[in-house]
Amino acid sequence: MAGPLPVGNDMPADGSLPRGVNVGADSRTMSAYIHVPFCRVRCGYCDFNTYTATELRGTSQSTYIDELSREIELSGSVLTRAGVPKRTLTSVFFGGGTPTILPATDLVRALELVRNEHGLEPCAEITTEANPDTITPEYVQTLAQAGFTRLSLGMQSAVPSVLATLDRTHNPASVSTAVQVAQDVGLEVSIDLIYGTPGETLDQWRQSLEAAITLNTGHISAYALIVEDGTALERRIRRGELPVPDDDLEADMYELADELLTAAGFQWYEVSNWSKSLEQRSVHNLTYWQGNDWWGYGPGAHSHIGGTRFWNVKHPAAYAQRLSLGQSPAAGWEQPDEEAVALERVLLGSRIREGISTLEFEPDIVAGLIADGLIDGHSALKHNLVLTVAGRLRADEVVRRLTFS
């Protein structure tokens, strides 16, 4: 089960947003995130808001899109009342959970609902996450015909023993099949990897990287495993059944990933993400890092509109009940103060390749980061703060030095 929701202000029953969220809206893009909170099996490391039952106290997988439709309709009226101008969506991302546990026609219907409510940019990026074992030629054909452009495939590892530690149940051989059928219908494919699994060796990680590279996709994400409190994985580590992840080994794994991916024609554009071209970067992920607006639909989903963050109730039954009563599913909201906003802008902006301007910071601090090999000196001469490989590994330290020195 995912962690607790943030502590914030109670959201009005009609979902009304505070004043000021419309200010500057024309300078920000708008996206949609659609949460599908269902999985066949809960992986041992997972802390996401997901459920394995098909029936959940008055709601079910089969009725989920009906419930989602009510929030999508509500979002349009909430934004209109707040004075936010209508903006067509630059991206739609289906996450989970496992969105592809639902019939492809359900995802298509959800896409049509947000298209009808908000509109889509002509070249909007439409992505769904997928488990390799859920993908068939018929499934991706249905998605492609409806306007989906991208598949984010959860490979995680090519090594069966590592997958077993993560409680991942897909067959490693199904990854290449899923990539092929998706590419056959014109979908871009991103491969998601996890490194630092307890017991994983550097050679095993190399094996996974090389396997991912040979799939010939345009985008690869590589995330360090985070052991979340309350997960099955955390309990196994606490009982001594698995070793504690090694920070130094994870650093070696990151450096290896950057080395192999760069040699294969990828270029990092965010600390954990590499693409072969500008066009193959994830538009939706950049929405978050660049501070744009998005509405998160579904149980436990978070939204960001004009500096205001709000989040939905977590359980699908509570979510469905509120919407059936004509109420917003949002549980709370917050508006970070100016200091927090400034910190977050540095925290997010420094993670992407374009970086942020060095002119915002004391010259001595910038010079110190260059001397320590954490930011690129040539870029800094052009007043652009860009992290080196070492800087990406120590990104939190860079942010602290920039903001608290």
- Does any domain span residue 304? no
- In the chain, % of residues over pLDDT 70: 99
Name the CA dihedral angle for 378, 383, 387, 388, rounded to a multiple of 10 degrees.
Answer: 10
Predicted confidence at residue 53, as pLDDT, reads 74
Q: What is the pLDDT of residues 241-298, one digit of tens each?
A: 999 999 999 999 999 999 999 999 999 999 999 999 999 999 999 999 999 999 999 9
Across 185-195, average pLDDT: 98
Same domain for 167 and 63: yes
Q: Name the β-bridge partners of 71.
A: none
Q: How far apart are CA 74 and CA 329, in angstroms?
A: 10
Same domain for 142 and 24: yes
Q: Which of 270, 289, 308 is where one domain is finished?
A: 289
Same domain for 368 and 224: no
Host domain of residue 14: 9-289
Predicted confidence at residue 172, as pLDDT, reads 87
Q: Which pLDDT band holds residue 3 (cuts at 50, 70, 90)?
A: low
Predicted confidence at residue 1, as pLDDT, reads 43
Same domain for 353 and 217: no
The CA-atom distances, in angstroms, between 271 and each of 6, 268, 275, 346, 366 are 25, 7, 12, 14, 19
Same domain for 346 and 212: no
- Does any domain span residue 29? yes
Same domain for 345 and 277: no
- Reported as type and span, the H/E element at residue 294 is strand 293-297
Same domain for 184 and 99: yes
Overall pTM > 0.85: yes
- Does any domain span residue 1? no
Would you list the DSSP string of 42-61?
Answer: --TT--SS-B--SEETTEEG
- Does any domain span residue 317? no
Q: What is the pLDDT of residues 65-112, one digit of tens each?
A: 999 999 999 999 999 999 999 999 999 999 999 999 999 999 999 999
Same domain for 285 and 344: no
> How many domains does the chain contain in total?
2
- Does any domain span residue 347? yes
Predicted confidence at residue 52, as pLDDT, reads 82
Please check the confidence at residue 2 and state whether its pLDDT lies above 70.
no
CATH code of the domain in which 375 resides: 1.10.10
Same domain for 124 and 14: yes
Same domain for 206 and 121: yes
Kindly tell me the burial class for residue 326, based on how many C-beta atoms sit within 10 Å of its own C-beta (0-12, 13-18, 19 or more).
exposed
- Does any domain span residue 4? no
Across 38-56, average pLDDT: 81
Predicted confidence at residue 55, as pLDDT, reads 66
Q: Which of 289, 304, 329 is where one domain is finished?
A: 289
CATH code of the domain in which 81 resides: 3.20.20.70
The per-residue pLDDT of the chain, averaged, comes to 94
Same domain for 114 and 41: yes
Mention every residue, 6+ apart, whose C-beta is less than 8 A from residue 69: 110, 113
Same domain for 145 and 285: yes
- Does any domain span residue 87? yes
- Does any domain span residue 301? no
Q: Which two tokens stand for residue 62?
A: 């089969």
Q: Which residue has the tokens 């992290």?
A: 387
Across 193-208, average pLDDT: 97
